[in-house]
Structure 1
Amino acid sequence: MGGTWAESASGDSVDVIEAATEESLGRAALGDARDIDRAVRAARAALDDGPWGRTSPAERAELMFRFADRLDAAAEDTATLVSRENGTPIALSRVANGIGPGETVRMYARLAAGLSTEEVRPSPHGATIVRREPAGVVGAITPWNHPQTLAVMKIAPALAMGCAVVLKPAPETALDAFVFGEAAAAAGFPGGVVNVVPGGREAGAALVSHPGVDKVAFTGSTAAGRAIGAESGRLIRPCTLELGGKSASIVLDDADLDVFTAGLGESSFRNNGQTCALQTRILAPRRRYDEVVGAVGQFARGLVVGDPLDESVTCGPMVSAAHRDRVLAHIDGALAGGARLVTGGGRPGDRDRGWFVEPTVFAGVSNSDAIAREEVFGPVVVVIPYDDDDEAVRIANDSDYGLGGSVWTSDEARGLDVARRVRTGTIGINYYALDPGAPFGGMKASGLGRELGPEALAAYTEYKSVYASARWLPEV
C-alpha cells in the first residue's frame, strides 16, 4: 500500500489451500481495520496531495496501457494460480484470469484517452462549465469465484476516471490479488493509487465505513450486499452492488436442442457453477419436457470432473470444504423435498481429495421449491415445465433475482420478444456470454448499478457545474 509492501498490523495470515488437492499453496497476510486505514490514507494522499489528482486523461491512459502490459506478462502464472486457488478449469482461467484483465484495462485506457473533462453549455446567465471529476477513493471488495475479472471490472474504470483504489480481495484467493499491486508499481503509478489489502469481514466492514472512502464497489452475496447498501445509505455514499442470481434459461418449443446443449457449458455450468449470472433454472415446454430433461442430464453426465489444471477437465472443485458442504446441503434439501434426481447428487466416487461435487440435474421441480429459488453456486440445475410463452416469462420473472438469462429458439425475432419481457440485467438469445463493451449488472436483489462498457465510467464520476460568464462559450 502507498507504493510499498507493508506488514499487516495484526500479523495475521491465512493458509491458502489448493481446491483440488487440499494442500497448502502458501500463506497470505490478512489486513484488519488498521491496514485498511493506512491504505485509504495512502489513496487519499495520492489524490489530494500527490501527482495522481493532477493527471490528465491522456496521462492516465499511458499508465494504464503499461499496467495492462504488466498484467499480460504475468497472465499464464496468474491463471494457473487462480485455478489452483478456486478450482476454475484452466482453459477458462486463461481467459477470465489471464488475458482478460489486461484487455479490460486497455479498453478503459482507450476510453480515458478520449475523455473530455469539461463541456461548456449556454445558460440563462452566461455559460455553465460542466466538469467530470473523479469520484475519489474507491473501496473495491471482490469475491473468490472470478477474482481477476471482477477486480479489474472495478479497478480499470476507476483508474480511467482518475480515482484511487483500495482493493480488498477474498481470503480464498488472496495470493493472486497481489499481481495488481506488482503490475501497478511496475507500470509507474504513483504510490497510493492502487492498494491491495486481503482480508475477511472485519477488513471489508472497515473499508465500507471508512470516512476517507468516497465510493464502494462490491461483488458478492446478496446478504452482504444488503449490509453494504444499508451502510452506504447511512453515510450518503454511492455504491455499486453486483450480487446473486437465480437466472432462467427459457427453452422455447421450437428450440434446436443441439444448439441449446452446445451452450449449456457457458450458460448454466460455467466455472463449476460458481458464477452469479448462470441460468440454473431451465424452463422447458411441457410437451418437450422429457426431451429437454434428457438433454440436460446427458450434458451434465458428459462433463469431465477433475483437476482444473488438466486441459480435458470441464468441471473442477468447489473453492473450499465449507462451500462444498453448502452445495451438498442444497442437494440434500431438494431430495428431501421430493425433487427427482436425473444425475449427480453427491461427491464423485473416484475423488478422495479435493472439494468436488458431481454435476447435478433435478426434474419434477416447481418454481416455488427452495432449490428453484435459492442460489446454490455450484454445478446444480433444475428443469421446470411451462405451458406457453407467457407462463415461461411469468416463471422467469417470479424470482427475487434478475441478473442473467437466456432464450433458446429457432426464431430469433420471437426470442427477442421473450427476452425483452424478462426483468433481468442481461439476457442472451441462443447463447450467453458477457460483452465487455456493454453494461453488466442486475435488477431486484441482484444489485444496483452497472459495470463494464462505457457506462461503467459514470459510477466513478462526480459532476460539477461551474457557473461562468458568456466569454467561455465557444465561438460559432
Structure 2
Amino acid sequence: MTTTSPSAPRELSPDADTRVTLDAALTRLRAGAAAWADLPAAGRRHLLREVRAAVSAAADDWARIAAASKGLDPRHPLAGEEWLAGPYAAIVALDAYADTLDALARGRSPLAGIRTSTAPGGRTVVHTSPLRVSDRILLSGYTTEVWLRPGVTSHEARDAAGLASRHPLRSTGVGLVLGAGNVTSIPFLDVLYELLAEGRVALLKVNPTQDTLVPVFERALAPLIEAGFAAVVSGGGDVGAYLTRHPEIDHVHITGSETTFRAIVGSGEDRLRVPITAELGGVSPIIVVPGRWTKADLRFQAEHVATMRLHNSGHNCIAGQVVLLSRDWDQREGFERELRRAFARAPRRPVWYPHALERLRRLRDTYPDSEWFAGDTRAIVSGDGEIETTEYFAPVLGIIDLPGTGAAFLDAAVAHANDRLTGTLGANLLIDPISQHSLGPGFEAAIARLRYGTVAVNGWTAFGFLTPTATWGAFPGGTVDDAPSGIGIVHNALLLDDVERTVVRGPFRPFPRSLGRGRFSVLPKPPWFVTSRTGGAVSQGFARFRIDGRIGPLLVTLARAFGA
C-alpha cells in the first residue's frame, strides 16, 4: 500500500500561479493526445529508444538521489536496491515494450514465438520470462507466467495482445498518474502503461517523498515531454485534489493507500466523474509448507523471508507481512530461530517513510510481546489480529500458527490467506522439491485457488513486479466501492488482455546446492537479499549491463555475486 499524499479538502486549491502551470500542462497534453493516437507502432518504438537513452544518461543520478532520499549513503550495503528498483526496472521495461512494438510494426502478435500451456480450471498460461539470453544468465532459475482468465484460449490471447498499441485509431484522452512515494520506478512505469496499453497521454503528479527526483523524471521522460505526450508536476494534496477534478482529465491511476483512494473517489455530488485504476497494496502472506529441510535450507529461506519484509525498510506494497507456519512442523523452532537471526543480521537502515515510526509505536501497544531488533527499528509479532487486517508499511512481520502438514496444511493456509488477510495483491509460497512433488497436481490446484494477482513459488512477488513482461495488480474483481488492493493491472509489456494473475517460480536452493536438487540456478545468494554482502555492487552491475550490454564488466559483477 504505497501511500500518496492525502487529498486535500475540496475547498482547498493550489495558488493561482500553480493552477496556471497545471492548466497549461494539460492544454499541451490535450493537443498531444491526438498526435499520440496517430503515431504508429514503429514511431512509438523509435520514441522509446530515445527514452532509453535518456534513462541511461540519468541512471547514476537516479540511483544516487533515490538512495539519499531514503537516508542511505551510496556506499551503504543496501543502496543497490535503488539501482534495481529504479534504472534497472525502467530499462528492462523499455526494452520489453520496444520488442512488443517491433512485433506490432511488423504485423505480428507480441505473443508470436512465445510458449503457452494450460493451468487448472481451463486457464491459458503465457510463459512470459525468460525471453532473452541475458535473463537466463542474470536471473537464472527464475521464471514468470501470466495466467489468463478461465476460458480464454491461446488463439484469442494472441489476437488480443497489443491493447491500445495494436490499433491506435483514436485518442483515449489524458490520464493522471498519481505517483507512488516509495519505489522510484513506479511513476515512470505507470506513465509508460498509460501511453502504450491504454492509449492515453499522461500527466505525472510526483509524490512529495520523491520531490528530489523530479529533475530525474523530467530528464528520463524528456523525449515524451518534448513531444507533448507526457508532463511532470509536483505538489501536495491540494494539487492532487485539483487535478482529479479537472475537466481535462479523462482517467486517474493511483498507486497508494485505500484511504487516499477513497478520498479521491469521493461520494455524492463530489463523486469522481472519470474512471480510475489503482494499486493499493494489502497484507501479503508467506506460506511455508512443512518439509524436511537442511540447516542451510532453513537459513537461506529465513533470509528470503527477512528480505520480503525488510527490503526498502518495509515500505513496500509487495512486502510479505504474515508468515503462515505449521504448528505441527518438527523444524518450526529451527526456522523461527534462523528468521530472528536474519532480522538481527540485516544491515540497519532508517525507517524513512512518513508515519511509519508512528505505526511502530502503535505496534508496541497492540502486541506488547513483540520482539524487537536493530535498535528497536524492526519487529516480529506472533498471533492474529491487526497484523492480518492492516498493512503496516513498516518493518513488522507477523507469524500465524496453522495446523497440519502436507496437503492439509496447504489447504488451510490457502483458505486463511484468502479469507482472513486483507487484500489480493501478492502471495508467497515456500516449498521444498520433495514436498512439492508429493503433492502432485494438488499443488497447481492450490495456486489456482489463491485469489492473488501475483503468486510467487520459492520466490518473492517483487520478482513479478520487476519483470516487465509479467503483470502487476490486484486479483480481478475490484470495484470503486470495494477495492482492497486496487483495480486493474500495470507493467504487462506484452500488452496481454484478460489477465487473471502472474505466477513467479524460483529455485528452492541457490547454487551450488541447486545442482540436482529441484529447480537449477547458477545464482548464489540473490543480490536483492538484504543479507547479501555484495548486493549493492552486484545490483549496480546488473543495472549497468542492462544499460550498455558490456560483457567484461558483467563478468566482474558475476564474480562478485559469488562473494555474497
Alignment correspondent of 2:417: 396
Residue type at the aligned position of 1:73: A
User: How far apart are the structure 1 equivalents of 2:228 and 2:213?
Assistant: 19
Alignment CA distance shift 1:292-1:330 (3 Å): farther
* Range moving further from structure 2, 208-217 or 151-160: 151-160
Equivalences, count: 392
1:279 aligns with 2:320: yes
Alignment correspondent of 1:18: none
Q: Per-residue displacement from partner, 1:64-101 (whole Å, max 9, x unpaired)?
A: 11111111111121111011113473111111112221
Shift of 1:292: 3.2
Contact 1:359 1:380 in 2 (8 A): yes
User: How far apart are the structure 2 equivalents of 1:132 and 1:318?
Assistant: 47
User: How far apart are the structure 2 equivalents of 1:226 and 1:457?
Assistant: 28
Residue type at the aligned position of 1:412: Q
* Dislocated runs of 4+, deviation >6 Å: 116-119
User: Mind listing any 5+ residue stretches in structure 2 that lack a counterpart?
Assistant: 1-13, 73-77, 109-165, 404-408, 476-482, 499-564
Q: Per-residue displacement from partner, 1:170-214 (whole Å, max 9, x unpaired)?
A: 1111121332222333x3754432211111111112222211112
Contact 1:405 1:428 in 2 (8 A): yes
1:292 aligns with 2:335: yes
- Helix, strand or coil at the partner of 1:402: coil
Find 2:88's aligned residue among 74, 99, 107: 99
Alignment correspondent of 1:358: 377
Q: How does 1:21-32 map to 2 (within 5 A)?
A: 32=18
1:225 aligns with 2:268: no
Q: Per-residue displacement from partner, 1:390-414 (whole Å, max 9, x unpaired)?
A: 3212221212211111111113354
1:425 aligns with 2:453: yes
- Helix, strand or coil at the partner of 1:210: coil
Shift of 1:327: 2.8
User: How far apart are the structure 2 equivalents of 1:343 and 1:417?
Assistant: 38
Alignment correspondent of 1:327: 359
Alignment CA distance shift 1:68-1:266 (3 Å): farther
1:370 aligns with 2:386: yes
Contact 1:117 1:132 in 2 (8 A): no
Alignment correspondent of 1:46: 32
Alignment CA distance shift 1:254-1:194 (3 Å): same
Shift of 1:60: 1.6
Contact 2:33 2:201 in 1 (8 A): yes
User: Mind listing any 5+ residue stretches in structure 1 that lack a counterpart?
Assistant: 1-8, 12-30, 120-128, 306-315, 350-356, 460-476
Alignment correspondent of 2:282: 245
Alignment CA distance shift 1:54-1:131 (3 Å): closer
Shift of 1:272: 1.0
- Helix, strand or coil at the partner of 2:473: coil
Residue type at the aligned position of 2:205: K
Find 1:452's aligned residue among 466, 472, 491: 491
Find 2:350's aligned residue among 302, 317, 320: 317
User: How far apart are the structure 2 equivalents of 1:204 and 1:284?
Assistant: 42
Shift of 1:264: 2.0
RMSD: 2.9
User: How far apart are the structure 2 equivalents of 1:439 and 1:116?
Assistant: 23
Contact 1:426 1:441 in 2 (8 A): yes
Alignment correspondent of 1:440: 472
User: How far apart are the structure 2 equivalents of 1:188 and 1:400?
Assistant: 38
Alignment CA distance shift 1:417-1:266 (3 Å): farther
Alignment correspondent of 2:221: 184
Alignment correspondent of 1:210: 246
Alignment CA distance shift 1:447-1:258 (3 Å): same
Contact 2:97 2:494 in 1 (8 A): no
- Helix, strand or coil at the partner of 1:333: helix
Q: How does 1:454-469 map to 2 (within 5 A)?
A: 454=493
Q: Per-residue displacement from partner, 1:214-256 (whole Å, max 9, x unpaired)?
A: 2211101111123334579945523220002111101111164
User: How far apart are the structure 2 equivalents of 1:424 and 1:457?
Assistant: 18
User: How far apart are the structure 1 equivalents of 2:168 and 2:207?
Assistant: 35
Residue type at the aligned position of 2:447: A
Alignment CA distance shift 1:98-1:116 (3 Å): closer
Shift of 1:287: 2.2
- Helix, strand or coil at the partner of 2:247: coil
- Helix, strand or coil at the partner of 1:451: strand
Alignment CA distance shift 1:326-1:132 (3 Å): farther
User: How far apart are the structure 2 equivalents of 1:458 and 1:190?
Assistant: 30
Contact 1:86 1:144 in 2 (8 A): no
User: How far apart are the structure 1 equivalents of 2:105 and 2:276?
Assistant: 24
Alignment correspondent of 1:352: none
1:70 aligns with 2:54: yes
User: How far apart are the structure 2 equivalents of 1:230 and 1:118?
Assistant: 43
User: How far apart are the structure 2 equivalents of 1:73 and 1:323?
Assistant: 34
Find 1:172's aligned residue among 182, 186, 209: 209
Q: What is the percent sequence identity of the aligned residues?
A: 24
Q: Per-residue displacement from partner, 1:283-302 (whole Å, max 9, x unpaired)?
A: 10002343332222111011
Find 2:427's aligned residue among 402, 405, 409: 405
Alignment CA distance shift 1:361-1:446 (3 Å): same
User: How far apart are the structure 2 equivalents of 1:384 and 1:403?
Assistant: 19
Alignment CA distance shift 1:374-1:110 (3 Å): same
Alignment CA distance shift 1:118-1:38 (3 Å): farther
User: How far apart are the structure 1 equivalents of 2:45 and 2:493?
Assistant: 15
